[in-house]
Amino acid sequence: MNSIIHLLPDHVANQIAAGEVVQRPASVVKELLENAVDADATSITLIVKEGGKTSIQVIDNGSGMGDTDARLSFERHATSKIKFAEDLFQLHTKGFRGEALASIAAVAHVELKTKTEGEELGSHLVIEGSKTVKQDPCVTPVGTSIAVKNLFFNIPARRNFLKSSSVEQKHIIDEFQRVALVHPSIAFKFIHNDSELFNLPATNLRKRIVGVMGAKTNEKLVPVKEETDLIQLTGFVGKPEFAKKSRGEQFFFVNDRFIKHPYLHHAVTSAFEGLLKEKSYPSYFLYLKVDPKSIDINIHPTKTEVKFDNEHAIYSILRSSVKHSLGQFNVSPVLDFNKDSSMETDYMQHKKGAKIPSIEVDRNFNPFKAEVSSHTSAKSPSKNHFKSKSTANWESLYTDASIEENELMDIEVESESVSPSLFGGQSSSYQSSGTFQLQRKYIITSTKSEMLIIDQHRAHFRVLYEELLKNITAQPALSQQLLFPLKLQLDSNEIRVFENLKESLVNAGFSISEIGEDFVKINGIPNRLPESETSILLDQLLSDFENDIPDSGFDQTDRLAKSLAKSMAIKNGSLLQKEEQIELVNLLFSCKEPMLTPTNRLVFVKQSAADFDKKFM
């Protein structure tokens, strides 16, 4: 009988391994940065083009490799990190599986230049699809420079699944931040398409967080520190008032390795219980040191998931430590909500001498005098000193108050008129016969044969969506200029999102005068947007686009219109005047698709006379 089981060729095995290790360009960035850190580099530069699709290059000044090591580093299961199975439970490095470089070389063109200290010449190695094309000596600085080009060139189907360059860039930034945040003693630089995004010098932990997340982050941080026999905890959490509507600034590190752990995340969020607004998430940068024997990090190819021996104890320590820090720095509320800071005890009071109070009395003050000399008033500027007017002609005080009755009748009272400006003044082919509002949520109106029950928020959502879609694509909307420009403080990721959406936002009615490194200045907003809600709307918009930024086109325009319309639409619970109700109904039925919201939810339901007849049978 012929054998049906056979060994796979090396290049096929490497491509299978690449499917686990190299999922997208960000996976390559992660592996190369971690290798540079393990090489004891003090300066690391990341150079990326077109979101990593064209090229990824990492340059470090680490220990470098010799000729033999440079060739062996691209073999499967070749690593300098472990030698025995027991070493898996004593890991103090990043990479250890020995599959990263082999997997990357199987699906890309790789060029390596490396040199060790003391050697005159380094090694130059070129590999294409697991095949070594070239290896010869070269002149290069001490350290390693590795360039990965044309990722997935030999797997077209895999390359077609990559997202747009902006989305892939977002994932690369995430991986870069995770490595940079945990190694503040290493200088990092990130260049994308010849533009420098990050330049982080070697510094302490707090300054590194501020350098990565933005200058305004410093005032948001609350330090956390706890040390027990089980765990050593350091880091920072964000103040509750700066909580965001997205989970972007949440980082857990265990033994200098970024991890995702829902159970520990719950410990942090539970410490903020009662301090956060609805649907808001706290920021945290927490660094845990545990015994390597007590964790297993080899349960996932990307090594972002770990298992702890004693998760319940770590949960309790983490929750209590964060809660203690919030209370220690007067972030969480105290029992006395009306406490006056001036009444707090000064703990150094016992070292100060007693201060005898002094009383100044103005003996020349006479409340019955009509006039007080200038000498006296200058000497005692008392608040109880009032200058009284002469009462000789006291009858004149009441003569001006007499108004004849016919004069009162001539006074015109300005009446407040309600206009449907909330929804604009567009004309509509549908004219409502009459409306009333139910529970400040539904608008009830009728046609010839049936009754309509309209959700006011969803109806306004549909109206604004079609209007914004028209403004962004065809006819730019009008903008109301602000008396004082609005300046929003944003982090680097939010600035990048804002730059990608700038053109569409301008067409939607925003006037943007300046985009800085960590701020955006807005001079005008759409006509229907209240100024007080502008920052809230833009915060929600940035969180909607944080994880996925489509390229310019209909997809981006559609998502932008949906996000803006949903935030600008009137909320359920708002009282509408009769004219506003009628105008909203008329505008709804002038839409192309009045039955559904842009997210395909029902806007209104119908009740016919027959439906009512059945209920009375």
Mean pLDDT of 558-569: 85
Mean pLDDT of 559-577: 86
SS3 at position 430: coil
- 144 domain residue, yes or no: yes
- 336 domain residue, yes or no: no
Mean pLDDT of 76-91: 59
Residue 54 shares a structural domain with residue 188: yes
pLDDT at 203: 93
Per-residue pLDDT at 43 exceeds 90:
yes
Q: How many CB atoms lie within 10 A of CB 183?
A: 20
Least Cα distance to 527 among 507, 510, 506, 502 occurs for 510
pLDDT at 23: 83
Mean pLDDT of 70-76: 83
Percent of the chain whose predicted confidence (pLDDT) is above 70? 77
Kindly state the tokens that stand for 553.
Answer: 């086109």
Per-residue pLDDT at 479 exceeds 60:
yes
Residue 226 shares a structural domain with residue 298: yes
pLDDT level of residue 424 (50, 70, 90 thresholds): low
Residue 308 shares a structural domain with residue 273: yes
Residue 227 shares a structural domain with residue 117: no
More confident residue, 352 or 136: 136
pLDDT at 453: 92
Mean pLDDT of 66-72: 87
Residue 49 burial (C-beta neighbours within 10 Å; 0-12, 13-18, 19+): middle
SS3 at position 18: helix
Per-residue pLDDT at 472 exceeds 50:
yes
Residue 219 shares a structural domain with residue 174: no
Q: Distance between CA atoms of 531 and 525, rounded to whole angstroms?
A: 7
Residue 532 shares a structural domain with residue 451: yes
pLDDT level of residue 178 (50, 70, 90 thresholds): very high
pLDDT level of residue 187 (50, 70, 90 thresholds): very high
Residue 82 shares a structural domain with residue 147: yes
Phi, psi of 104 (to 5 degrees): -65, -45
Residues 561/469, Cβ–Cβ less than 8 Å: yes
Mean pLDDT of 553-559: 74
Helices of type H across 340-394: 374-379
Which CATH number belongs to the domain containing residue 190 in this structure?
3.30.565.10
SS3 at position 252: strand
Residue 17 shares a structural domain with residue 100: yes
- 351 domain residue, yes or no: no
pLDDT at 553: 60
**Dihedral over alpha carbons 234, 236, 237, 238 (to 10 degrees):** 180
Residue 28, domain extent: 10-200
Least Cα distance to 597 among 460, 467, 423 occurs for 460
Residues 504/556, Cβ–Cβ less than 8 Å: yes
pLDDT tens track for 234-247: 999 999 888 887 77
SS3 at position 38: helix
Among candidate residues 166, 200, 234, the one where a domain is terminated:
200
Among candidate residues 155, 170, 200, the one where a domain is terminated:
200
Q: Distance between CA atoms of 553 and 563, rounded to whole angstroms?
A: 16
Residue 303 shares a structural domain with residue 317: yes
pLDDT at 112: 93
Among candidate residues 293, 328, 363, the one where a domain is terminated:
328
Instruction: Please tell me the total count of domains within the chain.
Output: 3
- CA 61 vs CA 38, 49, 128: distances in Å: 11, 22, 25
pLDDT at 2: 67
Q: What does pLDDT average to over the chain?
A: 79
Per-residue pLDDT at 515 exceeds 80:
yes
Mean pLDDT of 266-294: 87
pLDDT tens track for 345-396: 555 666 667 777 777 777 887 777 655 444 444 444 444 444 444 455 555 5
pLDDT at 286: 95
Per-residue pLDDT at 482 exceeds 80:
yes
Which CATH number belongs to the domain containing residue 466 in this structure?
3.30.1370.100
- 33 domain residue, yes or no: yes
- 422 domain residue, yes or no: no
Residue 494 shares a structural domain with residue 467: yes
Residue 476 shares a structural domain with residue 546: yes
Mean pLDDT of 115-130: 90
